[in-house]
């Protein structure tokens, strides 16, 4: 981690604005010398990073280097805070101003600190010989991960669960138990409870028997409303606004006539089940709840009549099979493993005690080494296995120690998130870069290197790739709870990151003034937010990063003037935003990364512009979820460090400005001045989302002709049809992967496949056309996802051999009535969404989509879907595991019992919420007694 800190500080000392400020105060020479000394130490650390540092004295030396780097960073930041709003332009004025400013005690104090830093660095350099590279034993050269993309981990690659899977399936399908029963999988952390539950959940037998299935992660720190909303989301019904009796009764009613399977993953206490069990009706139809938990008492209390399935540790045979698969991932399954590696592999698995997580992590560690007996035996001899049954933890800990300094920082950053969070990879990259973790590598952008870092953590099985984009890159990731605990432990040891979700925890934190990064979860109450703000202001003079999640009220952060990263995360609900008030932000002009969902009031527009305009070092500005009544000040666009800008439909860069480092520019509006003065220069832009307003064809064409590296393009226009632009003439024609073209113009468009880039993987079109667009679009051989909206044509056909790789198809076509799917068309389609196609009949050939996994047919406006049509869809899609069709027009086929139930529910509308939920709970208690 020290090397990452040094890279950040040394890079900052080279910034032109920083040099100018330091020169203004007359300390440039001193700081420059400090920078040279730090550069020498940095070179030493880079060399040492290629070797294991296991000696405690060496670790202490590295810690001292890190501390002095933090010290000089703090001094520089303090000088920057004292800089005037506008740097003086004339030397005489600077000279007079400098004479005044030098009299300030604070400036003198900072000068003294620089002298102390110089002395400290001298001391560290003198001690460096003691820990020179010749004394670093156990050299193992680390192979850097190649920029390749790995496929998703196949659950069938995990061994040892076949018998367990069959046993749990039998419990779920037990015909002798018709009551709604709770089946539990119990085992220690890292044993594979979730993996086993997923194998059961996704088995064809379970899919056939339970048409309604829901998977919810509970975890140690849960919120009831979040659990209920997630259940409603997966059931595709309107989520409840609260956990009142009426809201829970609505969920209960939805499940009443269904045979369902609900998985509650990672339950730590009985409380979640006690609070939500009333939601799940018991109609004696064989519905089931499947729980995974570490606690046997949770399983017994959830259902005393059910026998928990205790997950055993892997046998030696299963352990060696899993270990060798992970350690030698490129070896074919039908090839025997080398005898020498197989034998030493047996020694490794003894240290893991049959724990799958330890085997996977250790296998991932060895997969980064040379596949030789010497390399493996060297690791066996040098690894600190621990004692007293701590071998499994030692395996995971040793995998962490094997990471480079930069990768350790990236791994510890996961301590800021919930253990079950799905984390956006792009945001993670941007924060890593702002934190200074990502080194500059030749011929690579910082984002490329960050992506490779995350891939390496995934390959080492330290992090899991939850979802991947169509090009194979990671879209979201998560971390196993055991490894999450390791990240928290290491982060605390190094004062690297602290995360809190309770106010008393933060009050305890106030005793530690050295934490540089802080994560706060679940701020809802205004008074609590105010208390958080006071504690942070008084207790965090070194705070550089502040991350919020599940926040509905933003505490004041105006005193946190050294902040580099401010991340508020996604709003928990689309209608809940953080109200912006100027005093809550203050003079945060050192921010490198700023992401928040702000609701700026009109009277604060000027203050908002001043606040944003004061950011001199900004790299990432993400206001895409905000409501802002004004545009950004032009001075923001002059910040040379800008890399990613996401705005809520605000006007884009000024004309002819050079934004060399900008790679992302999303949700911006075009400027009229581009037509006369010239388009902005964006030589390295990769993602562009632009709304065309009052702009001519020649202007947008001029802009697109300058974008050589573009991979994602979204054009939304109001006046000029987009298809008059032929994509073949642009330099990104063979590079573009995602294209989104939306037009409001009701003018017929003749599509030509030659206009569209040949390597597209995602295409989003909103068009008006008299001709069926499918014959043209199905020729795009690389397309994985297609969203087609528009009107003008009544019939369409997907022909044999068309859309050979398409996996996702979303349709929103107002006038289409007939759709034919020929046999052999859409052979890879897994997801089909028909949204608001009010006139469309059931497609001919729907049964040909043999790989279809999810079908969603929705008609919320216009004519409703008839019961006959619903039956036709179900008949053609018997093989599809997940089908959602709504709303249905007729309920004539309902039984008298169902109608009676509805009448009773209607007659009870005047009951209080408390009475309704009490009735539900009473019914469940009676059912349990039976």
Q: Tell me which of 1-15, 260-274, 636-650 is least confident.
A: 1-15
DSSP element (H, E) containing 44: helix 28-48
pLDDT grade for 107, boundaries at 50, 70 and 90: low
Residue 560 located in a structural domain: no
Backbone angles phi, psi at 255, to 5 degrees: -90, -5
Confidence of residue 716 (pLDDT cuts 50, 70, 90): confident
In a domain? residue 885: yes
H helix intervals, 83-145: 91-101, 105-128
Beta bridge pairs of residue 645: 621, 665
Are 278 and 920 a contacting pair, CB within 8 Å?
yes
Mean pLDDT, rounded, for 38-47: 69
Query: Which has the closest alpha carbon to 21: 75, 68, 92, 67?
Result: 75
Q: Which of the four pLDDT bands, split at 50, 70 and 90, describes residue 413?
A: very high
Hey, CA dihedral for 88, 93, 95, 98, is it positive or negative?
negative
Give the tokens for residue 426. Answer: 């792009």
Q: What is the 3-state secondary structure (H, E, C) of 266-309?
A: EECCCHHHHHHHHHCCCCCCCCEEEEEECCHHHHHHHCCCCCCE
pLDDT of residue 929: 41
**Which of 2, 119, 16 is CA-nearest to residue 64?**
2
DSSP 238: P
Give CA separation, 420 vs 222, 337, 412, 417, 480, in Å.
11, 36, 15, 8, 8
CA dist 148 and 668 (Å) reads 33
Range of the domain at 246: 161-310
Comparing 328 with 350, which gets the higher pLDDT? 328
Residue 475: inside a domain, yes or no? no
Are 115 and 196 contained in the same domain?
Answer: no
Q: In 2-141, at which residue ranges do the beta strands (DSSP E only) sit? A: none
Given a cut of 70, whether residue 665 has pLDDT beyond it is yes
Q: State the pLDDT at residue 191.
A: 77
| In the predicted structure, residue 456 carries a pLDDT above the cut 50 | yes
Q: Looking at residue 907, what is its pLDDT?
A: 41
Sign, CA dihedral 384-364-490-122, equals positive
Q: Which residues contact 918 (CB under 8 A, 6 or more apart)?
A: 245
Say if residue 184 is in the same domain as residue 266: yes
Mean pLDDT to the nearest integer, 250-255: 84
CA distance 279 to 923: 11
Top pLDDT among 482 and 83 is at 482
Token pair for 342: 């197989």
Count Cβ atoms below 10 Å from residue 870 Cβ, excluding itself: 18
> Looking at 550-619, which runs of residues are DSSP E strands?
565-567, 578-580, 593-595, 598-600
Mean pLDDT score, 101-112: 63
Alpha-carbon Rg for the chain in angstroms: 30
pLDDT at 136 over 80: no
Model confidence pLDDT, tens digit, residues 465-524? 889 998 889 999 988 777 888 898 888 887 788 877 665 565 555 545 467 888 887 655
Per-residue model confidence (pLDDT) at position 579:
67
Q: Are 586 and 533 in contact (CB under 8 A)?
A: no
In a domain, 534, yes or no: no
- HSE at residue 486, side-chain half, CA atoms within 13 A, is 25
Q: Same structural domain for residues 103 and 177?
A: no
> Given a cut of 90, is residue 429 above it in pLDDT?
yes
Flag whether 32 is in a domain. yes
Domain boundary among 287, 310, 333: 310
Question: Are 856 and 790 in a shared domain?
Answer: yes
Residues 166 and 302 in one domain: yes
Structure confidence at residue 69 (pLDDT): 79
Tokens of 924: 């469940």
Q: Is the peptide bond before 36 cis (omega within 30 degrees of 0)?
A: no
**Residues 6+ away with beta carbon under 8 Å from 59:** 53
| Residues 6+ away with beta carbon under 8 Å from 536 | 506, 518, 543, 546, 555, 557, 559, 560
Comparing C-alpha atoms, which of 579, 640, 572, 637 is closest to residue 608? 579
Rounded Cα distance between 787 and 834, Å, is: 10
Work out the average pLDDT over 151-175. 71
Position 509 in a domain = no
Q: Is residue 447 pLDDT above 70, yes or no?
A: yes
For 95, residues 6+ apart whose C-beta sits below 8 A from its C-beta are none
Tell how many helices (H) and how many strands (E) occur in the chain.
32, 29
pLDDT at 923: 47
CA distances from 828 to 475, 811, 818 (A): 21, 17, 22
Percent of the chain with pLDDT over 70: 74
Same domain, yes or no: 178 and 301: yes
Residues 165 and 306 both lie in one domain: yes
Taking the CA atoms of 163, 166, 169 and 173 in sequence, report the sign of the dihedral they define. negative
**pLDDT average, residue stretch 273-279:** 86
Task: Give CA–CA dist 376/454, Å, rounded.
Answer: 24
The secondary element (H helix, E strand) that includes residue 215 is strand 212-217
Six token digits for residue 11: 């890079």
pLDDT for 138? 37
* CA pair distance 524, 553, nearest whole angstrom: 6
Q: How far apart are CA 848 and CA 870, in angstroms?
A: 18
Q: With cut-offs at 50, 70 and 90, classify the pLDDT of residue 905.
A: very low
Average predicted confidence (pLDDT) for the chain: 78
CB 308 within 8 A of CB 186: yes
CATH code, 290? 3.40.50.300
DSSP 279: G
Tokens of 579: 């109200």
- 779, 842: one domain: yes
Check whether residue 283 and residue 174 sit in a common domain. Answer: yes
d(CA 481, CA 772): 50
Distance (Å) of CA 669 to CA 39, 651, 718, 763: 43, 4, 11, 21
- Judged on CB neighbours under 10 Å (0-12, 13-18, 19+), 446 is buried
Distance CA 806, CA 760 (A): 11
User: Cα–Cα distance between 885 and 872 in angstroms, integer?
Assistant: 11
**In sequence order, what are the residues at sequence separation of 6 or more whose Cβ sits closer than 8 angstroms to the Cβ of residue 76?**
9, 12, 13, 18, 22, 31
Q: Of 135, 150, 174, which one is at a domain's C-terminal end?
A: 135
130 and 13 in a single domain? The answer is: yes
- Could you tell me if 230 and 304 lie in one domain? yes
Using CA atoms, how far apart are residues 395 and 486, in angstroms rounded to an integer? 12
Give 479-517 as a 3 state SS string.
Answer: CCHHHHHHHHHHHHHCCCCEEECCHHHHHHHCCCCCCCE
- Using 50, 70 and 90 to split pLDDT, how confident is the model at 898? very low
Residue 888: phi and psi, rounded to 5, are: -100, 140
**Residue 132 or residue 446, greater confidence:** 446
> 831 pLDDT exceeds 60?
yes
User: Is the distance from CB of 35 to CB of 11 less than 8 angstroms?
Assistant: no
* Residue that is last in its domain, among 276, 310, 344: 310
- Are 416 and 517 in contact by the 8 Å Cβ rule? The answer is yes
User: Residue 459's closest CA among 341, 324, 365?
Assistant: 365
Q: What is the pLDDT of residue 657?
A: 93
Q: Reduce the DSSP state of residue 143 to 3 states and report it.
A: coil
Residue 596 lies in a domain: no
DSSP type of residue 531? H
Lowest mean pLDDT among 343-357, 374-388, 404-418, 651-665: 374-388
> Are β-strands 712-717 and 687-692 bridged in parallel, bridged antiparallel, or unpaired?
parallel
Answer whether residue 94 is part of any domain: yes
Provide the 3-class DSSP secondary structure of residue 713: strand
Does 317 or 134 have the greater pLDDT score? Answer: 317
3-state DSSP helix/strand/coil percent for the chain, to nearest 5?
40, 15, 40
Q: Name the least confident of 230-239, 514-523, 759-768, 783-792.
A: 514-523
CB contact at 8 A, 236 and 908: no
First to last CA, the chain: 60
| Gap between the Cα atoms of 3 and 10, Å rounded | 10
> In the numeric block, which tokens belong to residue 653?
């860069």
Q: Among all chains, which residue has been given the structure tokens 């702009």?
A: 695
Structural domain count of the chain: 3
Listed in sequence order, the residues at least 6 apart from 489 whose beta carbon sits closer than 8 Å to its beta carbon are none
User: What local confidence, expressed as pLDDT, does residue 758 receive?
Assistant: 81
- Summarize the confidence of residues 145-164 as an average pLDDT: 48
Q: Between 256 and 751, whose confidence is greater?
A: 256
Rounded CA separation 171/153 (Å): 27
* Lowest mean pLDDT across 435-449, 483-497, 543-557, 811-825: 543-557
73 plus 32 within the same structural domain: yes
What pLDDT score was predicted for residue 331?
Answer: 81
- Highest mean pLDDT out of 142-156, 336-350, 775-789: 775-789
Calculate mean pLDDT across residues 233-254. Answer: 78
Mean pLDDT of 594-620: 89
- The string of pLDDT tens digits covering residues 729-772 is 899 999 999 999 887 666 666 566 677 888 899 999 887 888 89
Rounded average pLDDT over 549-560? 73
Element (H, E) at 310: strand 309-310
Helix (H, G, I), strand (E, B) or coil at 266: strand
């Amino acid at each position: 981690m020290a090397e990452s800190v040094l890279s950040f500080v040394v890079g900052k000392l080279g910034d032109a604005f920083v040099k100018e400020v330091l020169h203004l105060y007359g300390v440039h020479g001193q700081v420059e010398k400090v920078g040279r000394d730090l550069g020498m130490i940095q070179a030493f650390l880079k060399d040492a990073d290629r070797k294991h540092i296991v000696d405690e004295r060496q670790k202490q030396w590295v810690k001292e280097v890190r501390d002095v780097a933090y010290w000089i960073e703090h001094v520089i930041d303090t000088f920057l805070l004292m800089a005037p709003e506008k740097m003086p332009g004339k030397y005489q004025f600077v000279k007079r101003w400098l004479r005044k400013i030098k009299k300030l005690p604070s400036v003198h104090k900072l000068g003294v600190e620089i002298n102390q830093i110089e002395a400290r660095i001298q001391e560290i350099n003198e001690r460096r010989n003691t820990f020179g590279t010749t004394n670093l034993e156990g050299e193992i050269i680390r192979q850097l991960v190649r920029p390749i993309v790995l496929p998703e981990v196949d659950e069938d690659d995990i061994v040892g669960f076949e018998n367990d899977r069959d046993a749990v399936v039998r419990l779920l399908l037990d015909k002798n138990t018709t009551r709604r029963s709770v089946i539990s999988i119990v085992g220690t952390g890292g044993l594979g409870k979730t993996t086993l539950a997923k194998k059961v959940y996704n088995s064809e037998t379970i899919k056939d028997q339970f048409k309604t299935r829901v998977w919810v992660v509970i975890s140690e720190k849960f919120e009831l409303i979040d659990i209920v909303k997630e259940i409603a989301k997966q059931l595709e019904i309107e989520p409840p606004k609260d956990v009142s009796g009426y809201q829970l009764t609505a969920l209960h009613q939805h499940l009443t006539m269904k045979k369902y399977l609900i998985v509650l993953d990672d339950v730590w206490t009985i409380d979640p089940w006690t609070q939500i069990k009333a939601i799940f009706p018991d109609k004696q139809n064989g519905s089931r709840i499947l729980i995974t938990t570490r606690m046997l008492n949770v399983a017994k209390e959830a259902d005393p009549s059910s026998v928990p399935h205790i997950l055993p540790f892997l046998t030696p045979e299963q352990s060696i099979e899993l270990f060798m698969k992970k350690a030698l991932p490129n070896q074919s399954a039908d090839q025997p493993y080398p005898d020498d590696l197989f034998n030493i592999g047996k020694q490794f698995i003894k240290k893991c005690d049959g724990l799958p997580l330890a085997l996977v992590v250790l296998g991932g560690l060895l997969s980064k080494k040379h596949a030789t007996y010497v390399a493996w035996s060297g690791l066996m001899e040098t690894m600190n296995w621990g004692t007293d049954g701590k071998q499994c933890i030692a395996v995971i800990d040793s995998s962490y120690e094997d990471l480079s300094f930069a990768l350790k920082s990236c791994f510890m950053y996961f301590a800021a998130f919930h253990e079950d969070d799905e984390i956006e990879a792009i945001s993670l990259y941007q924060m890593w870069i702002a934190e200074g973790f990502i080194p500059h590598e030749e011929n690579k952008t910082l984002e490329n290197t960050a992506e490779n870092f995350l891939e390496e953590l995934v390959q080492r099985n330290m992090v899991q790739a939850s979802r991947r984009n169509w090009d194979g890159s990671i879209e979201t990731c998560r971390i196993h709870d055991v490894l999450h605990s390791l990240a928290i432990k290491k982060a605390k040891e190094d004062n690297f990151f602290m995360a809190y979700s309770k106010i008393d925890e933060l009050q305890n934190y106030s005793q530690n003034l050295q934490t540089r990064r802080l994560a706060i979860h679940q701020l809802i109450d205004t008074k609590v937010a105010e208390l958080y703000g006071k504690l942070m202001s008084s207790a965090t003079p070194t705070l550089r990063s502040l991350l919020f999640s599940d926040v509905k009220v933003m505490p004041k952060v105006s005193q946190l003037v050294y902040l580099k990263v401010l991340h508020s995360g996604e709003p928990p609900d689309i209608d809940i935003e953080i109200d912006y008030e100027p005093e809550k932000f203050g003079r945060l002009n050192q921010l490198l990364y700023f992401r928040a969902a702000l609701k700026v009031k009109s009277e604060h527009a000027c203050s908002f512009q001043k606040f944003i305009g004061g950011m001199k070092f900004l790299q990432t500005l993400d206001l895409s979820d905000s409501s802002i009544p004004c545009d950004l000040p032009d001075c923001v666009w002059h910040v040379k460090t800008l890399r990613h800008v996401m705005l809520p439909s605000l006007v884009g860069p000024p004309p002819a400005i050079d934004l060399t480092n900008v790679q992302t520019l999303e949700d911006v509006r075009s400027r009229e001045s581009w037509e006369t003065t010239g388009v902005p220069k964006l030589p390295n832009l990769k993602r562009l989302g632009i709304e065309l307003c009052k702009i001519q064809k020649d202007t947008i064409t001029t802009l697109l002709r300058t974008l050589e590296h573009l991979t994602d393009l979204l054009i939304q226009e109001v006046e000029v049809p987009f298809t008059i632009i032929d994509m073949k003439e642009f330099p990104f024609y063979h590079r573009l992967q995602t294209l989104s073209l939306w037009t409001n113009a009701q003018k017929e468009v003749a599509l030509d496949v030659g206009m569209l880039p040949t390597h597209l993987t995602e295409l989003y079109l909103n068009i008006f056309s008299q001709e069926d667009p499918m014959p043209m679009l199905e020729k795009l051989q690389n397309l994985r996802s297609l969203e087609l909206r528009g009107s003008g044509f009544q019939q369409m056909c997907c022909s044999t051999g068309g859309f050979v790789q398409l996996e996702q198809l979303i349709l929103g076509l107002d006038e289409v009535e007939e759709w034919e799917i020929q046999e052999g068309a859409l052979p890879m389609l897994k997801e089909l969404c028909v949204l608001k196609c009010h006139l469309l009949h059931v497609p001919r050939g729907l049964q040909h989509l043999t790989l279809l996994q999810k079908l969603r047919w929705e008609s919320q406006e216009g004519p409703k879907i008839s019961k006959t049509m619903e039956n036709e869809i179900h008949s053609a899609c018997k093989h599809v595991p997940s089908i959602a069709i709504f709303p249905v027009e007729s309920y004539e086929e309902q039984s008298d019992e169902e109608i009676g139930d509805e009448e009773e529910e209607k007659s009870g509308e005047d009951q209080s919420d408390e009475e309704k939920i009490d009735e539900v709970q009473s019914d469940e208690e009676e059912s349990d007694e039976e």
